[in-house]
């Protein structure tokens, strides 16, 4: 597990537990054993079991985690996701944090799967964006993959994406592309965001790996794709929803970038019951 994820777990536990779980300390004997069952309460695509397991084992390495469902599988209401076995106080201390991770990440995987399933018979990939929860990006992008989506760039450092503000600073689409091409390292992709057909033509002439058609109506996307004629990859973005997804995906684009799959995914309903033994 990446060290940044462990730091996130440590921070989340410190936030929740603080100086100690005073309720459990007052009510539950220190060495009392217990079994916890984590269960889905609605239909969902499961994601985040590794980080949930690590939450409990960070609190108490003696906790045993038994997965009953794997990430990427569909769970229905009532399905047991995992069984955890250990000291009751440790299970109670980790319950909320573990569920927060599971609920959030399963929500992203579930929403992503809706988009990916809708275009399953088309040669189109659903891409995520950088519209992620601060500190959660690696986990949320993993959840996107779990749901059947594809990751776009991880951050500002690994993939050139020339946006409208970059173009404004450079003076033109071609000038911005030229500067990026001169600076890039081998293997790095250069993508440019365009909002007009003329900008798409300029990007194509300058030479890029991907042209992103941003906030264009469907008819303009059709025109841009015909203009590009398969000479480079085409991404479309901007207010893409399940309602308009097929209209955009059927234009011949290669990718559809969807911010909704991370920034607006609802938490799935997952709970945990603990039985002292």
Residues with catalytic function: 96, 131, 163, 193, 214
Q: For residue 158, what is the DSSP state?
A: S
CB neighbourhood size of 177 (10 A): 24
234 to 26, 168, 187, 195: CA distances (angstroms): 60, 22, 18, 13
Number of H helices, E strands in the chain: 11, 12
Contact, 83 vs 35, CB < 8 A?
yes
Coil, strand or helix at 55: helix
Token pair belonging to 216: 């264009």
Cα dihedral value 249, 251, 252, 253, nearest 10: -60
The dihedral of CA 224, 228, 230, 234: what is its sign?
A: negative
Query: What residues are paired with 80 via a beta bridge?
Result: 39
């Amino acid at each position: 597990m990446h060290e940044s994820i462990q730091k996130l777990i440590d921070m989340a536990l410190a936030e929740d537990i603080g100086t100690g779980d005073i309720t459990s300390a007052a009510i539950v004997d220190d060495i009392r054993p217990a079994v916890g069952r984590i269960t889905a309460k609605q239909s969902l695509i499961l994601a985040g079991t590794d980080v949930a397991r690590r939450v409990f084992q960070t609190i108490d390495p003696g906790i045993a985690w038994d997965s009953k469902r794997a990430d990427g599988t569909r769970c229905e209401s009532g399905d047991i996701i995992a069984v955890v076995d250990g000291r009751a106080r440790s299970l109670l201390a980790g319950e909320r944090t573990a569920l927060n991770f599971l609920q959030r990440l399963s929500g992203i995987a579930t929403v992503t799967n809706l988009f990916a399933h809708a275009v399953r018979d088309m040669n189109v990939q659903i891409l995520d964006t950088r519209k992620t929860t601060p500190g959660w990006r690696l986990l949320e992008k993993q959840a996107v993959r779990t749901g059947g989506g594809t990751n776009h760039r991880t951050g500002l450092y690994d993939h050139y994406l020339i946006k409208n503000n970059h173009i404004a600073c450079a003076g033109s689409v071609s000038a911005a592309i030229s500067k990026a091409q001169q600076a890039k390292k081998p293997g790095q992709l250069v993508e440019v965001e365009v909002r007009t057909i003329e900008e798409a033509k300029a990007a194509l002439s300058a030479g890029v790996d991907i042209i992103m058609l941003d906030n264009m109506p469907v008819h303009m996307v059709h025109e841009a794709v015909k203009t590009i004629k398969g000479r480079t990859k085409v991404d479309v973005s901007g207010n893409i929803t399940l309602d308009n997804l097929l209209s955009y995906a059927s234009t011949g684009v290669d990718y559809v970038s969807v911010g909704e799959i991370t920034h607006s995914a609802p938490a799935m309903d997952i709970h945990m019951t603990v039985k002292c033994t």
